[in-house]
Chains A and B, each alone.
Chain A
Amino acid sequence: MSAITLKDLNQIPVRLASGHRLCAGCAESIIARQIMMGTTGEIVVTAATGCFEVSTTIFPYTSWHTPYIHTAFGNGAAGGAGVETAYKSLKRQGKIDKDIRFVTFAGDGATYDIGLQSLSGAMERGHEMLYVCFNNEAYMNTGIQRSSATSMGASTTTSWSGSKSYGNKNFPKDLTKIVAMHGVPFVAQSAPHAWRDMVSKAKKAFECGGPSFINTISPCPRGWRFPSNETISISKLAVETCVWPLYEVEYGTDFTMSPESLRIAEGKVEKKPVTDWIASQGRFKHLEEERWEPVVEEIQKGIDQRWEHLIKLCKL
């Protein structure tokens, strides 16, 4: 694969128009554009219900310059699979001749929670489609409710911090590995500040000849409580603290650390403490109180354990 340059990416047609209604500083449109830069060919987009769907398709407007379909919340993967199945059938019968790629976009609620079964089914059955999760770690479209992707200690509108609570009680479920263990050709974690890494992963996903899954951290100024001009630096911090390591997995067995995280694993760049991450966002503000020190320690411990495990999986 040749090196990805901004000059080349600039030549790829824009499929998602500006003027959509996502919040200022939302990472989702940035991610979607980077993902779709992974192919110069035709793309059909499926979306699950969520911020991204709502904000790009409010009738009578659409932000899509490429075919787009949405049906409901918990079935983004099945929706993508249906389009891909129709394509497979019509192509085999000679009823269409174009080469088309398929991508599904969905949030973490639609992916980790209500759409998990649909996702698992589509991955297992081998549909040639890329599924992208915008992981902003909560149900942002309905107003910042906790999901199974929410960080431990985050205050959300259904897991408030309070006099007797430090916020969300659990570590997020490791969905990337759950999908990888389906044995599909390509699975990766990515982050929007690492655009070259994201585009290169999208390219691999589109060309892998089977189902693929990219889980991206998607910083949310509203839900995470940070100024809307810090989206990219927050994304970077997620990787620097190893809260969100960048890696890819082929066929469920071959784990490879991506460049930014690799430099940390090799000790070339210092791993930042989770307190930096916590200090950067209002959703963790309460954790700075002295009484929650043990919780912060537990969060750090959890991140360390998962990071060490990933290093082993990547055989570093």
Chain B
Amino acid sequence: MTPAKHNDIAINGDGAVALAWKQINPDVCAAYPITPQTIIVEKFAEYVANGEVDSEYVCVESEHSALTLCTTSCSAGARTFTATASQGLAYMWEMLPITSSMRVPLIMAVANRAVSGPININNDHSDAMAARDTGWLSLFSENVQEAYDLSIIAPRIAEHHEVQLPCLVNLDGFILTHAIERMSPLEDDVVKRFVGEFKPLYPLLDVDNPISHNLMDGPLYYFPHKYQTVLAMDKALEVAKQVLAEFKSISGREYKVVEEYRCDDAEIVAVVLGSAFGTMKEAVDRLRDEGVKAGVMMPRLFRPWPIADIAKALKGKKQVMVMDRHMVPGSYGAMYAEVAATLIEEGGDIPMMHNYIYGLGGADTMVSDFMAAYKDVIEGRAKRVNYLGVDE
């Protein structure tokens, strides 16, 4: 396939996600309003109202019902998507591991927002991190273009018959959801061909072959059944790499499960998720101008955690700083702990590790803040866990 014609538009992140789903044309969408996600489902409802999609759209009475309805709809054999944020994702939590253990490949956009309390509508990753161990695939976007592209990529990974897991597509609240950026959408037919028809396994509505979904497991079966999700996650890493390569062929845009920026010869590398990756690239450029051998990387695929790719990228580095946009009172940031564990994989000398908690509840973190963090680490001023911008 040749790269699609580019026809750039100005659009915010929520609008870009809605546009992707208009082109995918799902059978069902059920959602509940919550800032900063709401624009996605408002815009999608407009597509429904104007007959631009074939979807059934359900205005549910809560996020718990949103995810329940989407889970059974997808189990029934309908391609299904939803979107949420913060408290909404928290309210769905009971259903998150049920959806994944039922192997339901639905897609959910998460407009990452701080979790209460105190109540705060602005960006951090505390919602996505609270969902990280629930068996969902999880992808992070750096900018509006990526939020759009990953929305199109996600169903291909999730629906793969050897994966069959639900997927979160994360985009930073306000920073991406509400910021208007330049973006190159794909042509409708290109998206349609790429995503393809939904081919559900064991759909409930196949009444000639009745199946019972989500039975009760005793101790003999629960563990081995849960283990199947581990195997599916392992497969998802391989599938994600294939799908990203295929996406490059239709879009000309290259994505990797772990994005690296100036890491090859770097002595100090930061690991970060989401829109701050862009800010940190700028910080790296400026530090390089000053002669500092800095780099930054982003695990675009956060679940499954690409252990080998991350371990390889960080091997031999002197210092690693892990940037967590959420906090774990009483312990390290979650990604810090995972990076630390990953560093054991390659053996040899382990880099000096530091953890930065930054940008909670929409706290601005500027290029200069990140530069200062790099320098504090290099010059030995950093503690093991640092709260960037907080007067400790």
Contact = CB atoms under 8 A, between A and B. Distances in A.
Partners in one complex: yes
Nearest to B66: A78
B214 A89 contact: no
Nearest to B72: A82
Interface centre among A44, A67, A79, A120, by most chain B C-beta atoms within 10 angstroms, is A67
B73 interface: yes
Interface string A113-127: 000011011101100
Contacts of B68: 71-72, 75, 78-79, 82, 118
Given A60-B221, A89-B28, A100-B205, A46 B65 contact: no
B210 A68 contact: yes
B172 to A, nearest CB: 29
Contacts of A153: none
Nearest to A45: B212
A54 B216 contact: yes
B75 interface: yes
A185 to B, nearest CB: 19
B61 A82 contact: no
Contacts of B65: 75, 77-78, 81, 117-118, 121-122
Q: Is the interface of B mostly helix, strand, loop or mixed?
A: mixed
B69 interface: yes
Interface in B50-82: 54-56, 58-62, 64-65, 68-78, 80
Given A86-B27, A93-B27, A44 B61 contact: no
Contacts of B157: none
Interface in A88-142: 88-90, 92-93, 95-96, 98, 100, 117-118, 120-122, 124-125
Given A69-B213, A81-B58, A59 B72 contact: no
- Pairs A-B, 8 closest by C-beta atoms: A82-B72, A121-B61, A86-B76, A86-B78, A78-B65, A82-B69, A62-B212, A78-B68
Interface of B: 27-28, 30, 54-56, 58-62, 64-65, 68-78, 80, 94-95, 98, 102, 204-207, 210-218, 221, 225
20 contacts: A44-B76, A58-B216, A59-B221, A67-B205, A68-B211, A71-B68, A72-B95, A79-B68, A81-B58, A81-B72, A82-B68, A82-B70, A82-B71, A83-B73, A83-B75, A89-B27, A90-B78, A117-B65, A121-B65, A125-B59
Given A78-B65, A79-B72, A118-B65, 18 more contacts: A57-B212, A60-B215, A64-B210, A64-B212, A67-B204, A67-B212, A69-B72, A69-B213, A70-B214, A71-B95, A72-B95, A81-B65, A86-B78, A90-B205, A93-B54, A100-B207, A117-B61, A121-B61
